[in-house]
Amino acid sequence: MQRCIIFTNQKLEANQDLRRKKIKGLLAYILAKAAFNTSLNLLSNTIFSIDLVDPNEREFKEYSLGYHGRSRKPNLSDHFPLLKMLDRKG
């Protein structure tokens, strides 16, 4: 019974703009991801003659995102010299 109410022509037409917006967002995400991987592979091929990013592996991207997140955190030992001996970043 609920299925008949949710999937009526009137309800589907009312949500058409939302579906289009979500599809555009998904396409933008996929294109951005592909552009990132392609740019990184072009650069790594130029420098190291290897592809750093394999589209089937998640390990590199997880590592790079983790490092990127850590690199944005403030380094307290720069402001408090007493903390230099505890500094993990060096």
Tell me: the pLDDT tens digits for 27-83? 999 999 889 888 988 998 899 888 887 767 666 656 655 655 555 566 666 677 776
| pLDDT, position 67 | 56
Contact yes or no for 41/52 (Cβ under 8 A): yes
The answer to whether the pTM exceeds 0.75 is no
Distance between CA atoms of residues 56 and 19, nearest Å: 28
Give the structural domain span for 13: 1-51
Q: Are residues 43 and 14 in the same domain?
A: yes
Q: What is the pLDDT of residue 2?
A: 60
How large is the average pLDDT for residues 1-29?
84
CA-based diameter of the chain, in Å? 68
Residue 27, pLDDT score: 95
Co-location of 46 and 64 in the same domain: no
Closest CA to 61 of 28, 30, 37, 43: 37
* Res 26: pLDDT: 95
Count how many domains the chain has.
2
Same domain, 28 and 66: no
Are the CB atoms for 41 and 25 separated by under 8 Å? no
